[in-house]
Amino acid sequence: MRDPPAKRGAEEGERSGAVQIDLTGRTAVVTGSTQGIGAAIALGLARAGARVAVNGRSAGSVDAALERMRTREPGGDFLAAPGDIASDEGLDWVTEAVPRADILINNLGVFGSRPALEIDDAEWRRYFDTNVLTAVRMIRRYLPGMTERGWGRVQNIASDSAVVIPAEMIHYGMSKTALLAVSRGFAKEAAGSGVCVNSVIAGPTHTGGVEDFVRDLVGRDLPWDEAQRAFMREYRPQSLIQRLIEPEEIAAMVVYLSSPLASATTGAAIRVDGGYVDSIVP
């Protein structure tokens, strides 16, 4: 018979003492993890001892990502979980490769700029399907097993755009706002089970895709450091660190929230935004 969730949470807190994160024996699935923030999260979880399933749309992209990760973390326990989770077939491939997960990180997402009145219905649907419904579908697959076992972590990677809607990509902002609601709702579904469900509000982050996005907005002739400063000054002046966040900084928070140390944090929107959102509460 399992201990009550409250007792397990208290015991986890007592054992934590020093900040030591050990995810040995846990299996994690990170969607959209062949590059950028997702890849940094996969590496961070592997370094903490988790067995990490790396997901991308094609087997080729996943294999290439695994080669890079194993070079950077030779002792890491990685496995391939290719599949486009926006499709039923791809979702089945991923969950067949990883039938059981203790940690689910819904990182997959698309973004891009477009004038508000030029966003057609198909584009609105694509952003909602990719950024919101893929997370819902993954949670439906893995949450029942977590609650049955009495332990689990679900995190949905959101964005400052969920709170501060960018005029140049309101369809993206809408999808990330919806993801905050999804996280809070499923946290209630998992109430009292020992499973924690949260969203992570990532601020403007330095990835390859963001570099292209920045150059589209400020010009492609500028050196990168100058282009980044111009972007932050013109398009993200609210940032208190006045630079793009590195993916590893997002990953550090995700690893913590995936650990027993975060047993009392659920239903929350945790900010790793460089102070971008001008608020003293999440």
Active-site entry in 127, 142, 172, 235: 172
Listed residue (134, 89, 93, 111) closest to 37, CA to CA = 111
The b-or-e profile of 80-117 (16+ CB within 10 A means b, else e) is bbbbbbbeeebbebbbebbeebbbbbbbbbbbeeeeee
The b-or-e profile of 58-69 (16+ CB within 10 A means b, else e) is eeeebeebbeeb
Q: Give Cβ neighbours of residue 268 (< 8 Å, ≥ 6 apart).
A: 187, 198, 199, 282
Q: How far apart are CA 49 and CA 102, in angstroms?
A: 13
Respond yes or no: is residue 127 known to be catalytic.
no
Q: Give Cβ neighbours of residue 239 (< 8 Å, ≥ 6 apart).
A: 203, 204, 232, 273, 274, 275, 276
Catalytic residues: 172
